[in-house]
Amino acid sequence: MSRLVRFAACCVGLLALGSSPALAARKHLTRASSTPASTSASLEAELARLRSDPSVAADSASIIETLTSGSMKGMTWSRLAEFTDTIGPRLCGSETLETAVDYMVKQLQADGLENVHAEQTSLPLWHRGSESVTLLEPRVANLNMLGLGGSIGTQQYGPEGLTAEVLVVASFDELKARASEAKGKIVAFNQFCDWVNKPVDCYGESVSYRYSSWQAVSAVGGLASLVRSVAAFSINSPHTGVTSQDASPSAPSIPTAALTIEDAAMLARMAARNQTIRINLKMEAKMVQTDAVGHNVVAEIKGSEKPDEVVIVSGHLDSWDVGVGAMDDGGGALISWSVLSVLRRLNLRPKRTIRLVMWSCEEMGGIGAGQYFTAHKAEVPSMSMVAESDMGVFNPYGLQFTGNAAATAIMTQIGTLLRSINGSAVVGGGDGEDIAPWMQAGVPGASLANDNQRYFWVHHSGGDRMEVLDPAEVDRCAAVWAVHAYNVANLNELLPRDK
C-alpha cells in the first residue's frame, strides 16, 4: 500500500508539469533547506566545474553520441527484445524469474562489467491458474478478465466455481451506502476517472480499487470483488496488478479480479436498467509459498578514487505473467545496464562506483529491494544517489529528482549537458518502489522523466510487448540516464542532503 500512496503523490506532481513542449512551465519541486556557508562555497565550486571543465561536456557528449548514433545505437532495444523474446514474462518467485536472473548474470559478465553477481532474496510465489468470468444473465457471454495478484481462488465453491447475483457500484462510498444489498453477492466496481485529461494521475486515484476493493466487499458480506481495469485505454483488454493480502476476521479473503473497461461499463448500464445480473466466477488462484528463492542482480563500474561511495541505477527484473514486461520494467532495467556498458566502452571510470541493480519482485511490493536495503543499509552515508526507471522508456525530456535545493541545483546543471537530445529538464517527483527505503533514509532519488502518457494503455496487460517501445527513444532514455549517473558519480563530493 505504501507504494500506492507514494505513486499517487508522484503522479499529482507529474501531471501538473504537463507535456514536454512546455518545459518552461515545469515546476522544480525540491525539499526546502537552508544552506550553510561552507556548503554554499562547495556548491558554487561544483557548479563552476560542471559549467567550465571541458572534460565534463566532452565525456557527456561521447556518452550521448555512442548511445544514440554510434556503436551502441539500437543496442538497448535489441538486448531487451532478445531478453523478452527468450525468457518471456517473469512472475515474482517463479522459476522463469530465476531463469531471467541466470540469463542476466551471464550477459553482464560477457559485457565485461565488474562485480557481477546475484544476491539471494526470499519471495512470494502466487499462481494464477485457469480463470474465467461468465455472464449468465441477462445474456450468456464470456467476459475478459485477469485475477489480481495475491488473490485467492474459488476452490471453496467446487469445480463449478462461484455463481451469484451482481451488485454494481461506482465507488467505495456507494458500496457503503448500499451495504445491505451486497451480502451474498459478487460486487463489481465501475469506478470512472478522466484518463483523457489525467493520463497518469488517474492511476493514483483508481488503484485503491484494485488493491483493497475485496476488503470493502468482504466486510459487508460480499462473496467476490470485480474491478474495472486500472487503465487509460482498452480494446477489451484486462489489466492485472497486486491486491492486498491483509485479511482479517471482519474481512476474510475473497476472490478478486479485473474486468475490462468495456465489460465493467456494460454491467453498470445493465444495473442502471434494473436488469438482474448473474455471473459465474472460476479462479484457481492461490499463494503457493511465501519463501521462494529469488535474487537481485548486481553489476558495477568501480570508482577510481572513492569506490566505496556509490550511485545506484536500477529497474526491476520481474513482471506480471501477461505480456512480456518489455515496458514494465524490462526497459528500465536495460537502460540501467546500458549506463555501465557505455562507460566501459568509452573507458570512462568515474570517481565513485556506479552500481546496477535489477530488482526482484517489485510488482508484489518491492520485496527484493526491501531485503537488499536491509542487507546494505550501512551504505546509506556513502550512497550519493539512487535512481530507478519504472514509468516507461518513451521519449525522454529529462529527470525527475527528489533532493534538497543544493542537490537540485547540481542536477539541473548536469541536465544542461543533455540539450542536444532535448533531455535537459530536471523536475520534481523522483521516486520508485525499489529505491523508496534509501530515499526515506535521506538519499537523493531520481527517476526518468519521459512522455509516458500512454504508459497505462498497456501497463500490466497482455499488450506490454516490444512493439510499444521505439528504439531511438530507448536510446535517448539510456543517454539521459547515463549522463546523470556518470556526472553524479564524478562529483567532487557526495550529492548534498538534509539528513
Q: Which residues are catalytic?
A: 362
CA angle, 118 then 321 then 226, to 5°: 135
For the chain, how big is the Rg over CA atoms in Å? Answer: 23
Task: Report whether 179 contacts 216 (CB < 8 A).
Answer: no
Task: Report whether 64 contacts 483 (CB < 8 A).
Answer: yes
Order of strands across the sheet with 286-301?
114-127, 286-301, 352-359, 306-316, 383-388, 445-450, 396-402, 425-427
- C-alpha distances (whole Å) from 412 to each of 23, 66, 123, 400 are 13, 23, 38, 10
| CA separation for the pair 103, 130 (Å, rounded) | 29
| CA separation for the pair 403, 443 (Å, rounded) | 8
* 171 three-state secondary structure: coil
Dihedral sign of CA atoms 41, 47, 50, 51 in order: negative
Location of C-alpha cell 519521459: 450
Phi, psi of 358 (to 5 degrees): -105, 110
Order of strands across the sheet with 278-283?
141-143, 131-137, 278-283, 162-169, 186-189, 224-228, 256-259, 145-147
Cell reading at 315: 529497474
